[in-house]
Structure 1
Amino acid sequence: MPIRIPEQLPAQDVLLGENIFTMDSMRAANQDIRPLAVGILNLMPNKIETEVQLLRLLSNTPLQIDVDLIRIDNQAPKNTPQSHMDSFYHDFSSIASKRYDGLIVTGAPLAHLEYSEVKYWDTMAKILDWSERHVQSTLYLCWAAHAAMYHFYQVERVLRQEKISGVFEHEVLDPHNELMRGFDPYFYAPHSRYGHITVDEYNQVPGLSVIARSADAGAYIVSSQDKRKVFVTGHPEYDPETLNDEYCRDVESGQAPQVPVNYYPDDNPAKNPLVRWRSHGSLLFTNWLNYCVYQNTPYDLNLLANGASPKR
């Protein structure tokens, strides 16, 4: 089934070019079903690129999904036209009374800032608390995963001197967890972060468990027992060239970044990246939508705040 996105959203042309079926509001209104409502709180500076990446992964499911793009403040974002934000994004205040089956909170380039120094931290904390009452399951990516761990459990990340950057091998620790259904015992996924929380620190939080980890990059997927919080410390949504773009950007800015691990053949940036994470990235999003969202959300979203049992 398709995802419903706003008409004229630039991602629509990209997805249609990849033979991914999207639907506008008028056509969706004629579907006699209750689609899943999914919000995307996009904290990345290049909003359009991130939209395409996430919508691509959300599309690989038989479920119909209505997507709301959410902004955290009114400041003009870097690398994204203000007109795009005004046309396609909702201010948080405008959707605060709404309930969602699922919410995705992206990463953000805020690695070297303490949470209290982030200009929108108060709003971020408010949204995290709001999600407890208004969202069935929230998927936190990269920086957002660490931010949520700090907010909900007071677990502090450690900032490394060198960035964890590359495509790392991961091991499935709990093959019976629904999020891992269909995964190979070992798989690859990209990371791009300075922050780090150890596997033991995650596992010491009651109700949380690390279900996939890397010997080199640490915990990758962490889930709450009730499936309402899923923390992903890497970037399963990344395009083939995203790590390359980040590396080239850092080089051009005068930094001396390490070459992303296991990304270029022979670790040679002159060669095209070796892509080997996209199938498992797609599977992760499909499993999250099915087992954490669809199978657990009440048919009437107004029952979310009451802790209603699944109605599917």
Structure 2
Amino acid sequence: MPIKLPDNLPAYDVLKREGVMVIPDELAGQQDIRPLRIALLNLMPKKIQTENQFARLIGATPLQIEFSLIRMTEHQARNTAAEHMESFYRPFSEVLASGEKFDGLIITGAPIEHLPYDQVTYWDELTQVMNWTQTHVHSTFGVCWGGMAMINHFHNVPKIDLPTKAFGCIRHNILTPASPYLRGFSDDMVVPVSRWTEIRREDITKAGLPILIDSPTAGPCLVADPDHRALYVFNHFEYDSGTLKDEYDRDIANGTPINVPANYYPNDDPTQPPLNRWRSHAHLLYGNWVSEIYLTTPFDSELIGAASTDLRKK
């Protein structure tokens, strides 16, 4: 089954060229099934690039996905055309007022790691979003800063500033191979890392949360939060092959001190084209997440958020 996208959303043509099954609204409405409703709260500055990355991953499963785009109500995007935002994004205030529910929600990262949470201009609304997920979303996936924000909000786990940027393709280990989110994973893998902060193992352990993927050098990567029906990933499985290159080139152009991303270019040579060594695990992770949603979400979407409908606890 395909992912349902507006046929004028840029991701529609991108994914179709890549062989991902996509379907326009009109045709999807003729199929007598309930699609999984998955929303993306996009906090990244390059909105279209981020849409493509996540739509590619959740659209690769055999289930029909209805993909929705959400933005913070008052925050204005500076790197994406206003026409695009107006055409494809709904402000969270509108979603909240509608009372609608979602099977899944992805909260992306944001380039604001240096700020204390309460100094983020949309922090109050984001805390409202996170509380709303407990009654209106079956499963939430917090990514990088989005995951850090969620684990801080629900468990008071702090983010810690790093002396230098964690940057590159870092090898990680599987700690809980029996997790349904890690079906098909190798014992270890490389994952793109790009952040100036970290979440420490001891703080996660103190909060009573299981670490699913970890790195001796980059720290925890994937954490489960069953009580809040959430996953937190602090790195970037969703990145395209050239995303780290784009970040490196941007920093070099701006005169920002930055190391060559580790283990990314062949022989660590930035003149060589980088190789993508994480794509298969990215598809596995997000495919497993979508599969778990399908197995556990109630057929009646009005029951989403009710504890009695958590099929894994029955």
TM-score by length of 1: 0.96
**Pairwise CA distance, 1:304:** 2.1
- Tell me what 2:30 maps to: 30
**1:168 aligns with one of 170, 173, 189:** 170
- Tell me what 2:80 maps to: 80
Amino acid at match of 2:197: G
Q: Is the 8 A contact 2:108 2:145 kept in 1?
A: yes
- Tell me what 2:146 maps to: 144
**Pairwise CA distance, 1:98:** 1.0
Amino acid at match of 1:126: Q
**1:103 aligns with one of 88, 102, 105:** 105
Q: Mapping of 1:227-242 within 5 angstroms?
A: 228-242=229-243
Q: Is the 8 A contact 2:39 2:70 kept in 1?
A: yes
- Tell me what 2:14 maps to: 14
**Pairwise CA distance, 1:175:** 0.6
CA change 1:180–1:305 in 2 (3 A) is closer
Moved >2 Å (runs of 4+): 73-76, 308-312
- Tell me what 1:297 maps to: 297
- Tell me what 1:275 maps to: 276
- Tell me what 2:200 maps to: 198
**Pairwise CA distance, 1:164:** 0.6
**Pairwise CA distance, 1:309:** 2.4
- Tell me what 1:178 maps to: 180
**Pairwise CA distance, 1:225:** 3.2
Identity %: 42
- Tell me what 1:213 maps to: 214
Asked whether 1:116 is paired with 2:106, we answer no
Q: Is the 8 A contact 1:4 1:28 kept in 2?
A: yes
Inter-partner Cα distance in structure 2 for 1:117 and 1:76: 17
- Post-superposition Cα deviations, 1:164-217, rounded to whole Å, max 9, x if no partner, equal 1111111100110101110000111101111111122112213x2001101111
- Post-superposition Cα deviations, 1:233-263, rounded to whole Å, max 9, x if no partner, equal 0010000000000011011111120111110
TM-score by length of 2: 0.96
Inter-partner Cα distance in structure 1 for 2:311 and 2:32: 17
Q: Is the 8 A contact 1:190 1:235 kept in 2?
A: yes
Inter-partner Cα distance in structure 2 for 1:100 and 1:263: 36
- Tell me what 1:225 maps to: 226
**Pairwise CA distance, 1:220:** 0.6
Amino acid at match of 1:91: P
CA RMSD of aligned residues (A): 1.3
Amino acid at match of 1:122: D
Unaligned runs of 5+ in 2: none
**Pairwise CA distance, 1:67:** 0.8
What is the DSSP-based 3-state SS (H/G/I as helix, E as strand, rest coil) of the residue aligned with 1:113?
coil
- Post-superposition Cα deviations, 1:66-105, rounded to whole Å, max 9, x if no partner, equal 0110001344312210100000001112211111000000
Amino acid at match of 2:264: Y
Inter-partner Cα distance in structure 1 for 2:162 and 2:74: 31
Amino acid at match of 2:262: V
Amino acid at match of 1:87: S
Q: Is the 8 A contact 1:299 1:311 kept in 2?
A: no
Q: Is the 8 A contact 1:298 1:308 kept in 2?
A: no
Stretch deviating more after TM superposition (265-274 or 231-240): 265-274
- Post-superposition Cα deviations, 1:2-27, rounded to whole Å, max 9, x if no partner, equal 01112300111111111111111111
Q: Is the 8 A contact 2:170 2:192 kept in 1?
A: yes
What is the DSSP-based 3-state SS (H/G/I as helix, E as strand, rest coil) of the residue aligned with 2:252?
helix
Size of the alignment, in residue pairs?
310
- Tell me what 2:255 maps to: 254
Amino acid at match of 2:187: P
- Tell me what 2:52 maps to: 52
Inter-partner Cα distance in structure 1 for 2:205 and 2:145: 19
What is the DSSP-based 3-state SS (H/G/I as helix, E as strand, rest coil) of the residue aligned with 2:308?
coil
Inter-partner Cα distance in structure 2 for 1:306 and 1:128: 16
